[in-house]
Amino acid sequence: MLGIKGLVIQERMNGWIRWNHSDRPLAMSFHIRAFSPKILRFGGERRLEGSLHIAGYTPVSVRGHLRLALTGPHYCLHAEIPGLGLVRLVGHKTYQLKQFRKSLVTCPMSLYQGNQIIGQAEVRYEEPIYQFPFKSVRLVLG
């Protein structure tokens, strides 16, 4: 008999990133896959892995975590970017009643190198939001 092993969340977010020393934003996207054996646990960190694409840079792998919260998900992605070294991309969606649809899909982020912020970014989930539960959330059976 098959049981439920956990929950997978897969997301592709597209947007822009701007280094602190530049006024010109670059296209950016990431694709992540986060897993947790605890299906209904909010607040717990789900390990994630995926890829990060920044215009003009070689695509790189990311690892990190996704934490779900009632106010919106929190993302923390770690990557080794050629020419920059180890960086951390951190952000969270903050659900707001006044701008509910926008707040559901938009995530402002900061790019860190060590403890220093070296850039800002904004990404959006661009698929129709009603498709999210069908395309991006999966139960893992085993």
Q: What percent of the chain has pLDDT over 70?
A: 96
> Considering the chain, what percentage of its residues have pLDDT values greater than 90?
59
| Cβ 55 vs Cβ 81: under 8 Å | no
Mean pLDDT confidence for 118-142: 87
Q: Of the ranges 2-6, 92-96, 119-123, 125-129, which one carries the lowest mean pLDDT score? A: 2-6
Which position has the higher pLDDT, 42 or 38? 38
Write the CB contacts of 114 (distance below 8 Å, at least 6 apart in sequence): none
Mean pLDDT value across residues 34-60: 87
CA distance 118 to 47: 24
18/12 Cα distance (integer angstroms): 19
Q: Which long-range contacts (CB under 8 A, 24 or more apart) does 110-113 make?
A: 111/17, 111/19, 111/87, 112/87, 112/88, 113/84, 113/85, 113/86, 113/87, 113/88
| Rounded average pLDDT over 115-132 | 92
Lowest-confidence range among 24-33, 57-66, 101-110?
Answer: 101-110
Continuous segment of H or E residues that includes residue 77: strand 74-81
- Residue 88 CA to residue 96 CA, distance in Å, equals 26
Give mean pLDDT, residues 51-58: 96
Q: Give pLDDT, residue 125.
A: 92
CA distance 89 to 109: 7
Residue with tokens 């904004």: 122
Q: Domains, the chain, ranges and CATH?
A: 4-127 (2.40.160)
SS3 assignment, position 12: strand
Q: What's the sign of the alpha-carbon dihedral 93, 75, 82, 49?
A: negative
- Determine the average pLDDT of the residues in 26-42: 87
